[in-house]
Structure 1
Amino acid sequence: METPRAAGRYRIDRLLGSGGFAAVWLGHDSELDAPVAIKILADHWAQREDLRERFVQEARLLRSVDSHRLVQVFDIGELPDGRPYFVMSYADRGTLEELLAAGPLPLNDALHLAREIARGVEALHAHGVVHRDLKPSNVLIRSTDGADRIMIADLGIARTDDRLSSLTLPAGSPGYMAPEQAQIDGAPDRRSDVYGLGALTYHMLTGEPPAERRRVPSEVRPTVPHNIDSVVQRALEPDRELRWPSAHDFAQALSQTLGRVDTDPLPHTRPVPKRHRWRKGRLLWTAGGALAALLLVTGGTVWAIAGDDERANHAPAAPRKEHGASMGDPNGRWLRTDRGIPPQYRRLIVRAGTWCEIPGLSPALIAAMLKTESNFDPDLSDPKADEYGIARWTPSVLSRWQPGGSNNPAPRPADITPELSVPAMGRFLCSLGRQIETVPGDPALNLAGLYRSGVEKVKKSGGVPPAYRPYTQKVDQYLKIYRPS
């Protein structure tokens, strides 16, 4: 990706992160002598009027709410080549996702942070906006006046009051999205965001997002009081009529628990590194630098399942390296750290391997498949097979598992990034893998065989089809190498 020199009056210094639809750059406002984040629509989407309008609408929504608990938009414009961009506050302290990489937060800190996020969502709701994609990577942290504050970002799939009654497609991020968001015309409303707030709070308290068959927080972490269990569990009710009716009500319920909880030392978890630690209501960040300012429209943002196609001989694709992905799984919880998995892909691999809870799926399986598919080569190109990149996606097949699904055109081979294609593996396996759960054999290898052959072939063969067993044997070898001891 060529670095643009400037966006209007803003100098562009370096890439912070990129996704399927946009990239975020660290910029500098020469007039105010301050760092900014600049989000630029990808060039191959800039000709799509509907996507341009969606991109600009995100900036308008952020600007209209204008809360310090949301990323704030300062400016908007177009590059000389016609690509739209907008300029926002820069989150120099990183994301909640990075903060949670070390495990659960101290109880008081988790509750204070959850309440602040809820108040940010409350500000959105007061302006008639439903976020629909609350997750750790969409909560940013910025240092201000000697303290740190959260900012909610990425309104790329948000809906406003005037659109809530129109047809909705499945959208959100598994683990944090309400059940109605997985349905066509599920009519998500403010209570869908209440579910997202409950999922974020659950993750901060327990160190993991809620699973389908979840335990209450106190079962995962015995020091969580039962009154907090009830607050979080009500937010996570599958039936939205039983949830807290609003973000305000959820925030109020959390406020009633604050001050009654002693911060525990988390004796059953690994210590939280000094680099990520909340203390007395603020985050201490001792390392210089930091990751990005803004949430991208990446794989994992929009979940539109288009059906049950077989991949047949189609495989995945991906290319360039994710900036800063070495933050993923630093302590080797999911993957061995001494077996040659490129660090820049670890976070993507963990994301894909924990997309849902189904037998056989794990980050180690995703890593083993990527090793077998391409030897982690982001630039792999096999035009004869129409397969490209780190995961060997065929563009026409990837189009069904990319953000927005088949509503967006198939990506060009050169545009199939690891950020796009590796999370798509998680979506693919989670969606179609449920259809082969009862097939005999090793569940992980059945998923690998599914990835190469399709649902019907795995069912018909009663496991991995014979033609794909050499492939799954290689996957099995690497799976044993990459699994943590």
Structure 2
Amino acid sequence: MSTGGARPVDVPPGYVVGRWRVTGYLGSGSWGSVYSGEPVAETELPDGEPGQVALKFLPPSVGTPGRRALLAGVVERERRFSASADHPALIRTIAVETAVGGAADGATVLVMERAVGNVRQLLDGRPVPGAERMLAEVCSALAHMHGAGWIHGDVKPGNVLLLADGGARLADFGVTTELDGTHGYVPRLGSSDHLPPEWWSEQVGVEGVMLRPTADVWAFGVLAHQMLTGGRHPFAGATPHARAMNAQSYGHSGEGLLIDEGIAEPWRDVIRDCLAPDHASRAAFPARVVADRIDGLLADPGGLPRVRRCVRPVPAALVAVVTVVTVAAIAATSFALWPGSSDETPASPSSARAGSGTARGELRPGAAVPAQYRDAIRTAAHACPAPEVTPALIAGVLKEESGFDPDFADPATESYGIAGWTPQVFHAVAPPSADYMNPTDAIMAAGDYLCGLDEEFAKEHLPGDLAALTVAGYDTSTAAVAAARGVPAKAAAFTDSVLEDASEYGV
């Protein structure tokens, strides 16, 4: 959560909403702004209601039609989940209000429990004090959510809040989704360090990416390993992207899981089961079963595992537990690949490997690519380790989609902006705050989408040039390319033109 910069909803101290008065600003995320609050002086608090709260302001629907529709969906989902979230280990939404008057007029306001910190602040190389009890609380909350037909979708240390009484609360319901049978759908968001191997190969549709409860179980396994070691991830890698790639490899081979030897065996077994390499194997360990196992460990004093110090602890960091609502409480996921975002880094969906792409190279200084877009093109390409997705290739896509026109619009084909995005597909791929008519956002999303296509076609071992397949997938779909076992006829002209442009633009 950012504490500086523009605020999605700017509210002055003293602003009153419902029974609460704003007392200060805590921070903002992609969807809204969070303020500290207290009851107005004449209010008598009901039993059990806290005197200090967090007020999360979700703005009225503004912006592009796609943005308005997406925001409306987030607000409605938050309302429904807040009404059904009744568990002691879920951050409690005390009330849902509508702001009246001023700049916040019409904003939806969630009145929430106030936290004093989060688990991420405590990952200093030593096991988190009370980790076993907190993990039991979090897993019980997940089991309750799954039983009620919801998937959390973003379980991680920053989303486990700490209350003044020492209790742990699971928070951040920005990508929480309802189950429709065995799965739900979410935008292509989430924290790469906590996404299961199968997530990366799921096809993005207009509804988003398929998500199952076993994704939460996987994320809980990673969380448990981090809390019981003080921050160590169960997969090797110096960056979130590298760790995510190793997790993907583990999903195929079953090798590469590194459970720290400093964790006592009963907890190692729990983590190992949560991190089963595929959805089918993990389905044997639903959150309720895991929660009952952890409760059994805690109930048996003789068998309670004593978590020893990590064999290879990370350097201790200064931990300041302050009164703050973290990004978890504002239900927003930010992407480090987008300028100005938080330090929650998503992995690109492509693995680091050698390739044989046709289009390679940086942009030539004299290439006919507008100067104002070159930085975004380079950033988007360099965020993807796939050798086929180069600045020249991305520039070629932009040239053929719009002629580098940021105001391009073709309602007949539902193509808009510099990258020719279909709004529904864009919002399934890009962060919530992104706008398909904003050139930087559109270019970053194009690079990320091309990267995902490249990875998927590489795994399928489709015949032909991988760069050409990736461009064809951008123009049509992964299904069309897979069905054709190559570049579909309807995408041939577009693909050839992009590769020709890329050859001209690149060095």
Range of TM-score over shorter length: 0.5 to 0.7
Q: Please tell me the root mean square deviation across aligned C-alpha atoms, in Å.
A: 5.4
Residue in structure 1 matched with residue 40 of structure 2 by the alignment: 31
1:165 equivalenced with 2:185 (yes/no): no
Of 213, 217, 222, the match for 2:249: 213
Q: Distance in 2 between matches of 1:114 and 1:422?
A: 36
Q: Distance in 2 between matches of 1:2 and 1:395?
A: 29
Residue in structure 2 matched with residue 270 of structure 1 by the alignment: 314
Residue in structure 2 matched with residue 152 of structure 1 by the alignment: 171
Instruction: Map 1:229-308; keep pairs closer than 5 Å.
Output: 229-237=268-276, 238-240=278-280, 243-256=283-296, 260-275=304-319, 285-286=320-321, 291-292=326-327, 294-298=329-333
Instruction: Map 1:115-194; keep pairs closer than 5 Å.
Output: 115-126=136-147, 128-136=148-156, 139-145=159-165, 147-154=166-173, 156-159=175-178, 164-165=180-181, 168-169=184-185, 173=190, 175-177=194-196, 179=198, 182=202, 190-194=213-217
Residue in structure 2 matched with residue 198 of structure 1 by the alignment: 221
Offset from partner CA, 1:401-450 (integer Å, 9 cap, x none): 644359x9993646x897x98688556523433435789xxx9xx89x97
Residue in structure 2 matched with residue 373 of structure 1 by the alignment: 376
Residue in structure 2 matched with residue 308 of structure 1 by the alignment: none
Deviation at 1:358, TM superposition (A): 0.4
Amino acid at match of 1:193: D
**Could you tell me whether the CA contact under 8 Å between 1:78 and 1:85 is conserved in 2?**
yes
Amino acid at match of 1:372: D
Q: Distance in 2 between matches of 1:76 and 1:220?
A: 42
Of 3, 10, 14, the match for 2:10: 3
Change (3 A) 1:13 1:235: same
1:223 equivalenced with 2:247 (yes/no): no
Q: Distance in 2 between matches of 1:134 and 1:236?
A: 16
**Could you tell me whether the CA contact under 8 Å between 1:25 and 1:39 is conserved in 2?**
yes
**Could you tell me whether the CA contact under 8 Å between 1:38 and 1:85 is conserved in 2?**
yes
Change (3 A) 1:18 1:424: farther
**Could you tell me whether the CA contact under 8 Å between 1:118 and 1:197 is conserved in 2?**
yes
**Could you tell me whether the CA contact under 8 Å between 1:125 and 1:190 is conserved in 2?**
yes
Change (3 A) 1:359 1:191: closer
Amino acid at match of 2:404: A
* Equivalences, count: 391
**Could you tell me whether the CA contact under 8 Å between 1:56 and 1:84 is conserved in 2?**
no
Give the % identical residues: 11
Offset from partner CA, 1:153-183 (integer Å, 9 cap, x none): 3154321xxx523985465635425748936
Residue in structure 2 matched with residue 335 of structure 1 by the alignment: none
Instruction: Map 1:418-433; keep pairs closer than 5 Å.
Output: 426=448, 428-433=450-455
Deviation at 1:93, TM superposition (A): 0.9
Change (3 A) 1:434 1:164: closer
**Could you tell me whether the CA contact under 8 Å between 2:117 and 2:322 is conserved in 1?**
no
Change (3 A) 1:431 1:18: farther
Larger radius of gyration: 2
Q: Distance in 1 between matches of 2:440 and 2:36?
A: 23
Offset from partner CA, 1:103-152 (integer Å, 9 cap, x none): x65287554443221011123234x132240321662323313x352333
Please list every run of 5 or more consecutive structure 2 residues that lacks an aligned counterpart in the other structure: 1-7, 42-50, 236-242, 355-361, 364-372, 381-398, 408-416, 476-480, 482-486
Of 392, 404, 423, the match for 1:385: 404
**Could you tell me whether the CA contact under 8 Å between 1:58 and 1:154 is conserved in 2?**
yes
Instruction: Map 1:69-148; keep pairs closer than 5 Å.
Output: 69-80=89-100, 81-94=105-118, 96-97=119-120, 99=122, 106=127, 110-126=131-147, 128-136=148-156, 139-145=159-165, 147-148=166-167
Amino acid at match of 1:164: D
Q: Distance in 1 between matches of 2:269 and 2:94?
A: 40
Instruction: Map 1:376-415; keep pairs closer than 5 Å.
Output: 385-387=404-406, 394=418, 396-397=420-421, 399=423, 402-405=426-429, 411=435, 413=437
**Could you tell me whether the CA contact under 8 Å between 2:59 and 2:107 is conserved in 1?**
yes
Please list every run of 5 or more consecutive structure 1 residues that lacks an aligned counterpart in the other structure: 276-284, 301-315, 329-346, 362-367, 474-485
Change (3 A) 1:195 1:263: closer
Offset from partner CA, 1:451-484 (integer Å, 9 cap, x none): 9x98979xx999x9575479777xxxxxxxxxxx
Change (3 A) 1:14 1:115: same
Q: Secondary structure at the match of 2:35?
A: strand
**Could you tell me whether the CA contact under 8 Å between 2:262 and 2:307 is conserved in 1?**
no
Change (3 A) 1:90 1:396: farther
Residue in structure 2 matched with residue 358 of structure 1 by the alignment: 351
Amino acid at match of 2:455: G
Amino acid at match of 2:218: Y
Please give the TM-score of this superposition, normalised by the length of structure 2: 0.58
Deviation at 1:271, TM superposition (A): 1.9
Change (3 A) 1:470 1:89: farther
Offset from partner CA, 1:364-418 (integer Å, 9 cap, x none): xxxx9999327989xxxx9982459xxxx84643846644359x9993646x897
Amino acid at match of 2:352: P
Deviation at 1:297, TM superposition (A): 4.2
Please give the TM-score of this superposition, normalised by the length of structure 1: 0.60
Amino acid at match of 2:11: P
Q: Secondary structure at the match of 1:122?
A: helix
**Could you tell me whether the CA contact under 8 Å between 2:37 and 2:52 is conserved in 1?**
yes
Q: Secondary structure at the match of 2:32?
A: strand
